[in-house]
Structure 1
């Protein structure tokens, strides 16, 4: 895979800005003020023979890429937490990029009581995004998420086990731009069970699916943030260029790429609405 540098990504982003500048004032208003706040909730059923019967109808909610401090603010996060809790999830996943610039964000202490309100009886899990590592944010993100009741998975796995001893496995890997992902270490000791992998970067699927992983959940791409009709995504970040949004099947394994909630680089969304995703497990 050709690696895109930070400089070339920013250059592409500026190209997107110039493209947007050529649109009408109404189009700019829509992309900046309307679509970034027009939440879409997508629901899917995930069926697999390795999903135990005790996990039938287990509801997973994924949210991602809030980028607090750029366009998405704490008041928006509070609203999202209320919406997620109304969905009554059993499991919650956050797939990275909590703050846009951790070293510049002055309200980080206010995040914990908000995220703590999320309710999920079978657990809340998260992984690092590149912005979580950026600006010396690695330890800050870890502290916030763990104090908020999340299990942070960095090249490791955890079992979710029911009282009848049926189980599924949740793994998470570090992100590749500023971190050190290690799929083999993340999956060490996991066998003969339904395996969900959290990876901020979707394009790592080409490596992850060389292992016994059944479902990968990712974010990072924002669905490109700006899409052009009949063309597709205008700009995608490194490690989200091949798989920018939605479902993919790779070697009979499933990848889902969530478009996230916030924005970065540019305060626009066009044909790429912010998203919360619901997955309902089903044994077959």
Structure 2
């Protein structure tokens, strides 16, 4: 553990100790985790055809159902997402916190099946989805819920003769990400969105035919302190933690702070969020 990690983990422990029995503890555990923010972003590009102008994509991530996040809470999230009337919904990994110990997949599938989008629902694996013998369990759950898995693959959304490419890379920690295979036959002229659970994969994705990367995994740090920022983030979410990053004029990364919590059931100055992306043609 380096000095930065040690200090951040120490501050986390300090926060928990100081918070016990106080209003701060109650807020961080019971209130802020339920305050879902709708974060709206416009994405401009001359590669976006006019047929996709105002096209809306909703991203949600890191629900971690089973760890202080219930299916009843998921129902509330689903109603919120459907109310946005998206053209497409994407989920960027970590559905259940501990897949092999979760036993309510029937209700979970029923809830996820309620999500609707004109051009479908897509998802990628996160490290928790592969962990705990969850790879096939989570895939079956998402298949039964009407989601399409993008695992080192891509799909084409067509509007007349114009197209939008949506690609998905396998999890960077427990999977086998393959950029070459994922983006095979994708032209540099195609506007391409990549789903990648770990945001730090952007340093590799930037060298491929990708315009926008959507990620999760970091939880935005989950606990953020004034003048310090995030207290702790997991491996492969250490460089890009939350928000928008323009790596070069042709590549933008968006990191979603997720919905649920993991390790510690707290959020402080780091609300859960969904992203609503609106594509804007610059042609």
State the TM-score bracket (shorter-chain normalisation): over 0.9
Partner of 2:156: 159
**DSSP-derived class of the 2:131 partner:** helix
- 75-84 or 11-20, larger mean C-alpha shift: 11-20
* Contact map agreement 1:65 1:97 (CA 8 A) in 2: yes
Partner of 2:43: 46
1:89 to 86, 90, 109: 86
1:19, distance to aligned residue in structure 2 (A):
3.0
C-alpha distance after superposition, 1:204-235 (max 9, x if no partner):
00000111100000000000000110111000
- 109-118 or 231-240, larger mean C-alpha shift: 109-118
Alignment of 1:225 with 2:222, yes or no, is yes
Equivalents in 2 of 1:134, 1:10: separation in Å?
A: 26
Partner of 1:186: 182
1:272 to 270, 273, 283: 270
1:21, distance to aligned residue in structure 2 (A):
1.3
Alignment of 1:125 with 2:128, yes or no, is no
Alignment TM-score, normalising by the size of structure 2: 0.94
Alignment TM-score, normalising by the size of structure 1: 0.94
Partner of 1:20: 16
Equivalents in 1 of 2:7, 2:147: separation in Å?
A: 35
Q: Once superposed, which parts of structure 1, at least 4 consecutive aligned residues long, lie more than 3 Å away?
A: 9-15
Alignment of 1:79 with 2:69, yes or no, is no
Partner of 2:254: 256
Equivalents in 2 of 1:173, 1:112: separation in Å?
A: 23
**Mapping for residues 239-254 of structure 1, pairs under 5 Å:** 239-252=236-249, 253-254=251-252
Equivalents in 2 of 1:14, 1:131: separation in Å?
A: 25
Equivalents in 1 of 2:129, 2:6: separation in Å?
A: 18
- 17-26 or 83-92, larger mean C-alpha shift: 17-26
* Contact map agreement 1:17 1:266 (CA 8 A) in 2: no
1:200, distance to aligned residue in structure 2 (A):
0.5
Alignment of 1:212 with 2:203, yes or no, is no
Partner of 1:168: 164
Query: Mind listing any 5+ residue stretches in structure 2 that lack a counterpart?
Result: none
Alignment of 1:31 with 2:15, yes or no, is no
1:64 to 40, 57, 61: 61
Equivalents in 2 of 1:38, 1:224: separation in Å?
A: 16
Q: In 2 relative to 1, CA 14–78 (structure 1 residues): closer, same or farther, beyond 3 Å? A: farther
Query: Mind listing any 5+ residue stretches in structure 1 that lack a counterpart?
Result: none
* Contact map agreement 1:81 1:118 (CA 8 A) in 2: yes
2:198 to 190, 194, 201: 201
Equivalents in 2 of 1:87, 1:158: separation in Å?
A: 23
Aligned CA-pair RMSD: 1.9
1:116, distance to aligned residue in structure 2 (A):
0.9
